[in-house]
Amino acid sequence: MSQSLVSQMPVGQRVGVIADIPATELTDEDRRFIAQPELSGLIFFARNYQSPQQLAKLCADIRAERPDLLLCVDQEGGRVQRFREGYPRLPPMLTLEAIFHQDEARAIGLAREQGWLMAWEVRRQGVHLSFAPVLDIERDISRVIGDRAFGHSAEVVITLASAFVEGMSEAGMAAVGKHFPGHGAVEADSHKDLPVDERSEQALDYDLRPFAELMDRRLLAGIMPAHVVYPAVDAEHTAGFSRRWLQDILRQQLQYNGVIFSDDLTMAGAASVGSYAQRAQAAMDAGADALVVCNNTDGAQQVIDQVRLQCQQGWQHLDLQYLQGSMEQLDSDESERRAQSVRRVLETL
């Protein structure tokens, strides 16, 4: 599944927007908003969720309006799990590292099963994609990564994240690695500040290893860069606004040809670029394909308007429908039995 999803990324100058809606059901205003062709997907938050049944109806209503939209969420586990009531509580990824050091095979199996369960649970309600896995290396510094990471070394992150992605793929979900080239070595939270990672290129190369390895294995259909400045490589721009990072390193050096999703353009780490239109243009100029903008309806509209201008100048609409995957056989008896077994195991972690 992952290999076929990765291989279908369209080439050329294409751009789209991933935005959100305010509540648990569609309004007429929402319908007008999502009808805009510049929109390639929607991302859900806790405010969009009440129960699995409500979520399934919301997804069905959106598909009735725009069946091509990619429906997304951040459902990593631990602190970052938008859908909670009616869903199993997924342990944070760092829980697996301690198990790994005691029983490597068991940790790998748990990572695969947790990736499968996470993906299966949301996909059977109609959500296509969770922005996962986190490929940052934890160093007990970052205020935003922490136990979201799989481990404190590249080797552990590569091993456990690969298994997690394989589980996601078994449930028909593509994987998006974040936060390229690595957010774990800076304290500041890019949601609130503009982090600067002062390390050398050699040190940054170590953080790149999980991204490079999973890309080399064709496990990643998407990459999300960090709103972090790395002066050793580009002193002027965060990775998400840097042609050096996205074009020279990601596209050319690492030969990545999947989707580049911007991190949320409303974050403080993006604000230094200027207005929402300026942020959108800077991300496009750097090489981002899908512009993610959340929690600000006016800002999202400004991003959409800027993308519309770009498309009028010859760029094409980014169609992410191919990342939806097949929704068949998600409710089979075998899958339900597997889910019950995995839930019981995860409750003991």
- The catalytic residues are 191, 263
From the CB of residue 340, how many other CB atoms can be counted at a distance below 10 Å? Answer: 10
| R_g (Cα) of the chain, nearest Å | 19
Residue 7 is encoded by which pair of tokens? 């291989």
Please tell me the distance from the alpha carbon of residue 308 to that of residue 263, in angstroms, as a whole number: 20
Residue 340 is encoded by which pair of tokens? 């019950």
- Whether residue 37 contacts residue 317, with contact meaning beta carbons closer than 8 Å, is answered with yes
22 φ, ψ (degrees, to nearest 5): -85, -20
Residue 38 is encoded by which pair of tokens? 């510049």
Residues in the chain: 349
Please tell me the distance from the alpha carbon of residue 89 to that of residue 76, in angstroms, as a whole number: 10
From the CB of residue 64, how many other CB atoms can be counted at a distance below 10 Å? Answer: 10
- Whether residue 225 contacts residue 260, with contact meaning beta carbons closer than 8 Å, is answered with yes
DSSP, res 239: G
Cis peptide before 101 (omega within 30 of 0): no
CA distances to 7, 115, 155, 301 from 82, rounded to whole Å, are 29, 16, 29, 24
